[in-house]
Structure 1
Amino acid sequence: MPSAPPELSIEVEGVEPAAPAAVPALDFTLTLRAAGGHEVRSLTLATQIRIDATRRGYGERDKERLAELFGPPDEWSRNLSSLLWTQTVTQVPAFTASTKARITVPCTYDFEVAAAKYFHGLEDGEAPLDFLFTGTVFYLDGDRLQAAHLPRRAEAAFSMPVRVWRELMERHFPGGAWVRLGREEFDRLYAYKVRHTLPGWDDVIRSLLAKG
């Protein structure tokens, strides 16, 4: 009779900015445990990370900054919802009983992305995250290599300090932010900059805001 696959539990232990790289990224540390000290030959771990926006409170300033996502405060009871952040796949090597693994999540300061708007909108505290795990675990049944899917209930909650996100963005965009523009809009802004002999893009924005 085939043996049952290892029962795995997964916890998210911490997060820190990834080592300096061309693009900003966060490293999440996972602890994986196999019940009964089973041996796992390898694990293909797919992770969906969602922002459970309903799991924390918000001050008035937060609500102002998050209005584009959730609307005015009197509509939050209807609009506050979970947001998809990202999906990633990690290969976990062989282990017995327990091991640690790292999920590296590329991050963006593109304000067309809902997750970037959310993290930027929080002044302090923690961002509530849900990690939903799927994938395939490989294990030995006698001398035969077997494979089994992770159960659908494999998930973990984690509260990410907002300061970690802010430190990461400050490292890659010191003192600034990033806004994506269409080519036509950029050409018009550039023509405005040249026409008014403005030295920098901050000067362009200040000039337009003053006229508004």
Structure 2
Amino acid sequence: MSGMEFSVLDVVAEPYTVAPQLTARLRIEDGAGERIHAVVLRCQVRIEPQRRHYDAAERDGLLGLFGERERWSDTLRPFLWMQCNTTVQGFTGATEIDLPLPCTYDFDVIGSRYLHALRDGTVPLTLLFSGTVFTKGSAGFGVRQVPWDCEARYDLPVAVWRRMIASHFPNSGWIRLDQDVLDQIADFRARRGLISWDETVRMLLADVGEVVT
């Protein structure tokens, strides 16, 4: 083996972080046969939605992202979920590290909307790696790049993501609104004497004839 190879051993939900976070356990193998002092590692995490099946409820939930089912051959394409980085300590041959994957429940983020629509199964991920490798060269430090084709696939259980979100947003979520829209909703709530934001949104949906349960 020559060059570097990456594999994802596991992805777990961190229970005690301030914000939602997954942690990927990575194994890095280097076949160059030299002592590595450190690696500044960058990673793009992509979701590949075309690699899994969707039931009727999930297809309904994904309508806003991918359109009608008949269009999925054109619209179901890989998309970027997040970018993250870490520093790898020195090693020879192989090592295992933890890569933090910070997440959000913001529905303006396409990854959050996609994951929220899934009921079960797994999320097909591809991690694309890049970065700088520092070694001992003939005149001090040597530098080389992580090969451009380094990647690893992993099927993240939907239950892991849901467990992480539930620990930070139990039975709830959040969306961003423009200030003027928020002011109008707050005024509506005050004029109707409504107690909570949930009750306010339900009343607004009822006013436009939407079914509220």
Equivalent pair of 1:18/1:104 in contact (CA under 8 Å): no
What is the aligned length? 207
Partner of residue 192, structure 1: 188
Q: Is 1:62 the equivalent of 2:58? A: yes
Equivalent pair of 2:115/2:158 in contact (CA under 8 Å): yes
SS at match of 1:120: helix
| Long gaps (5+) in structure 2 | 209-213
**Identity score, percent:** 34
Deviations 1:89-130 (A, max 9, x none): 210010122111111111111111100001111111000011
Equivalent pair of 2:121/2:157 in contact (CA under 8 Å): yes
| Aligned amino acid, residue 140 of structure 1 | K
Q: Over aligned residue pairs, what C-alpha RMSD do you find? A: 1.4
Equivalent pair of 1:24/1:169 in contact (CA under 8 Å): yes
Q: Normalising by the residue count of structure 1, what TM-score does the alignment of the two structures yield?
A: 0.93
| Structure 1 residue ranges (4+ consecutive) displaced by more than 6 angstroms after TM superposition | none
Partner of residue 167, structure 2: 171
Partner of residue 113, structure 2: 117
Deviation at 1:37, TM superposition (A): 5.3
Deviations 1:160-200 (A, max 9, x none): 11111111111111111111111111111111111111110
| Aligned amino acid, residue 172 of structure 2 | G
SS at match of 1:129: strand
Deviation at 1:140, TM superposition (A): 2.0
**2:198 pairs with 189, 202, 208, which one?**
202
Partner Cα distance (2:58, 2:33) in 1: 45
Q: Normalising by the residue count of structure 2, what TM-score does the alignment of the two structures yield?
A: 0.93
| Long gaps (5+) in structure 1 | 1-5
Partner of residue 102, structure 2: 106
| Aligned amino acid, residue 72 of structure 1 | E
Partner Cα distance (1:8, 1:82) in 2: 24
Equivalent pair of 1:50/1:84 in contact (CA under 8 Å): yes
